[in-house]
Amino acid sequence: MTDQRFTELLGKQLAGEISADESIELKSVLAGNAAFNKEYDLLQNYLEAETVEEENIDVVFDRIKSQIQVPAQPGLKIGKNRNFVWLKIAAVVAVVLGVVLLYNREALFSDHAGHLAWVKVQTKAADIKTITLGDGTLVKINAASQFRYPKKFSGDNRNVYLSGEAFFDVKKDPQHPFIVHTEKMDVQVLGTAFNVKIYPNDDFAETTLIRGKVVISLKQDHQSFTLRPNDKFTLSNGKGLVSRIDGESQVETAWTNHELLFKNSRFDEVAKLLERHYDVDISFKNPELKQLVFTAHFTKENITEALDALKFIGNFNYSVKGKNVYIYR
């Protein structure tokens, strides 16, 4: 396969315009060409980690175009409003031709994104990871979460991205605010400790401040909320609410010690905690059981012991088949 055909297929893949037959063709060449496969992985990681603002797309693309000769791609139909696709395809060409992106990313994008070596950490159910960022910030990542961060911070802000739950102990640096970007809100801090919970399958999001000060900016209506120590912010149904936790942050941060702690929580909410903590799938055969309310603290119990304790409190039965747990009357 020629470089030009590979570039064409890869461009279509990233633009979301590849056909089923072309997808098979691309997978085949990636499986048989280690160099192409490595460059493809590098590019995928870059595009997943880096978000380029619309107003800067043309500038970035022109910078790429000025350093490479972009060959005509007969199979690609790029409309007038497909600037982001152009950016992706230009990056593909750069990788395939072995220039700029692979060896000179910083020079190419430095005034927009700084150092573009990004790291993605993905945790599975029942898995918790602890990492230290380049600035000394400590991050604990809860189960079933995804966290992305640059190997080296540069620019005015320290930007990271989260889906799921994580605890942050941020290294103080007043000149470079630390911003946690999530799907529904951004959390900006200077130096502080806080917990962020925003799982895709939860109908709410939370931020709990342990110490310091944070500012939360909602993406939908651009509202902002300032938290003080022991404040808890909850976003539900598009509405934000700040409440006090009376100096008790154990509920929100118990998971960092591999513990489960919940107070006056509905069974369907507890079920999600159990699923992530024990790597199981829980189904309710009787929907009304979801309304049961529990308060409990589990440290070293296994899933059966935890369910037995809840069963003693509530009026329900359960059965376990492999990783599947069934709750019923």
Query: Count of alpha carbons within 13 Å of 123, Cβ hemisphere only?
Result: 24
Summarize the confidence of residues 126-136 as an average pLDDT: 96
pLDDT at 279 over 50: yes
pLDDT of 114: 44
Task: For the domain made up of 122-249, give the CATH fold.
Answer: Jelly Rolls (2.60.120)
35-38 long-range contacts, Cβ below 8 Å, gap at least 24? 36/6, 36/96
CATH 3.55.50.30 fits 259-328, yes or no: yes
pLDDT at 166 over 90: yes
For residue 104, which phi and psi values (nearest 5 degrees)?
A: -140, 40
User: Which bin fits 114, alpha (ψ -120 to 50), beta or left (φ > 0)?
Assistant: left
pLDDT tens-digit series, residues 191-232: 899 999 999 989 999 999 999 999 999 988 889 999 999 999
Q: Round to whole Å and give the CA distance between 55 and 59.
A: 8
- Map out the domains of the chain as residue ranges: 3-111, 122-249, 259-328
pLDDT at 275 over 80: yes
DSSP assignment of 151-174, as one string?
SS--SSSEEEEEEEEEEEEPPP-T
The answer to whether residues 71 and 94 touch, using CB atoms and an 8 Å cutoff, is no
pTM: 0.66
Locate 264 and state its tokens.
Answer: 């006056």
Q: Round to whole Å and give the CA distance between 283 and 268.
A: 9
Which of 40-44, 95-99, 323-327 holds the top average pLDDT?
323-327
Q: What are the residues whose beta carbons fall under 8 Å from the beta carbon of 71, sequence distance 6 or more?
A: 4, 7, 93
Q: What share of the chain is helix, strand, coil (3-state, %, to 5)?
A: 35, 30, 35
Residue 77 one-letter amino acid: K
Q: Round to whole Å and give the CA distance between 88 and 115.
A: 18
CA 50 vs. chain centroid, Å, equals 13
* Partners of 132 in the β-ladder: 138
* Partners of 138 in the β-ladder: 132, 169
Locate 78 and state its tokens.
Answer: 């790029």
Strand-strand pairing, 260-266 and 178-181: unpaired
Which of 59-68, 81-90, 207-216 holds the top average pLDDT?
207-216
pLDDT of 60: 46
Q: Round to whole Å and give the CA distance between 172 and 193.
A: 10
Mean predicted lDDT score pLDDT of the chain: 80
In 17-128, at which residue ranges do the beta strands (DSSP E only) sit? 118-122
Summarize the confidence of residues 27-35 as an average pLDDT: 77
Q: What whole-number percentage of the chain has pLDDT above 70?
A: 73
